[in-house]
Amino acid sequence: MKKPVFTGAGCAIVTPFKGRDNSQVDYEKLGELIEFQIAGHTDAIVICGTTGESSTMPDAEHLSVIEYAVHKTARRIPVIAGTGSNDTAHGINLSKEAVRLGADALLQVTPYYNKATQKGLIKHYSAIAAAVDVPIILYNVPSRTGVNIAPDTLKELSKIPNISGVKECNLSQVSEVRCKCGDDLNIWSGEDGQVSMMLGAGGQGVISVVSNVYPQIMHDMVMKYKNGDVNGSWALQAKTLPLVKALFCEVNPIPVKEALNIKGWNVGGCRLPLCEMEDKNRDALKAAIKAFEESIS
């Protein structure tokens, strides 16, 4: 069995910005967020992923944020760096640099827009895995990338020693992936609303957006299940569902950044082309946060 990079809830952490046009990373705020996550028993920090707006980051900034997270976390929990690209050579270079800076593992999104074939996906991921010596978590999110990593492809990739697992957002294929890959591929949920279901399929936990705001809840949701309190895990899952709906009423990370701002974190906005929330959605998010906090008080 491949050792998982982490078990529990890893936070797909936002990148806080400052300046009128969100042009600067707010490193001091990022440090505060990381400390909040560790205090809330988050099991890993996933830096520069989709939620971290890596697609708007020049390479120098991207790597600077990874370096800061590694330094601030100081090996207390794993740092998983998003270094995926739709250009294999670019992905290799980013990955090598992230490893040099101390990342414990890498998150590799499926190549987007150019839509590789399944054969191309195997070649892409094999090349990146051969270039580094840390665990790799594949990130299968067809709704964003336009291509799915098929179960047979995951089975083939699971034979590569440092391909540790997959963050799976295509929930329709989880059972097939689990049956075909067994213990050779760890699975994490990429959907906050389907954590307990993934655990029931033998998953290791979740890479979570909700954890940005409520890290302890997401950690407990996984650990209750892992420790035998299945009903307790499902009860937390049920309580979070309206909140999850509100946090994804617009494209991620617009709502989660707004939620953090509502909670007083002042993380700034999103970089264009993402923009501020619609007023009606912001009001619904505020109401969902209030109702959720009343439900757990």
In 120-229, beta strands by DSSP E: 136-140, 163-168, 186-189, 205-208
Whole-angstrom Cα Rg for the chain:
18
In 196-281, beta strands by DSSP E: 205-208
- Range 228-255 average pLDDT: 97
Q: What is the residue-wise DSSP string for 187-250?
A: EEES-GGGHHHHHHTT--EEEESGGGT-HHHHHHHHHHHHTT-HHHHHHHHHHHHHHHHHHTSS
User: What Å distances lie between residue 138 and 20, 164, 185, 187, 237, CA to CA?
Assistant: 35, 8, 10, 9, 24
- Look at residue 90 in the predicted model and tell me its pLDDT: 98
Beta bridge partners of 257: none
Active-site residue among 167, 214, 224, 257? 167
Average pLDDT in the chain:
97
Q: Which residue, 272, 202, 208, 276, is CA-closest to 244?
A: 208
Question: At 39, phi and psi to the nearest 5?
Answer: -65, -30
pTM for the model stands at 0.97
**Boundaries of every domain in the chain:** 8-227
- Range 62-91 average pLDDT: 98
User: Please, are residues 33 and 12 in contact by the beta-carbon 8 Å criterion?
Assistant: no
User: Please, are residues 132 and 95 in contact by the beta-carbon 8 Å criterion?
Assistant: yes
- Tokens representing 148? 């799915």
pLDDT tens track for 151-187: 999 999 999 999 999 999 999 999 999 999 999 999 9
Active-site residue among 139, 214, 225, 257? 139
- Range 40-47 average pLDDT: 98
CATH H-level, domain 8-227: superfamily: Aldolase class I (3.20.20.70)
pLDDT tens track for 206-233: 999 999 999 999 999 999 999 999 999 9
pLDDT tens track for 90-105: 999 999 999 999 999 9
Is 208 buried (19+), middle (13-18) or exposed (0-12) by CB count in 10 A? buried
pLDDT tens track for 117-139: 999 999 999 999 999 999 999 99
Whether residue 27 lies in the annotated active site? no
Whether residue 139 lies in the annotated active site? yes
Q: What is the residue-wise DSSP string for 106-126?
A: EEEEPP-SS---HHHHHHHHH
| pLDDT at residue 297 greater than cutoff 90 | no
- Look at residue 20 in the predicted model and tell me its pLDDT: 85
CB atoms within 10 A of CB 271: 16
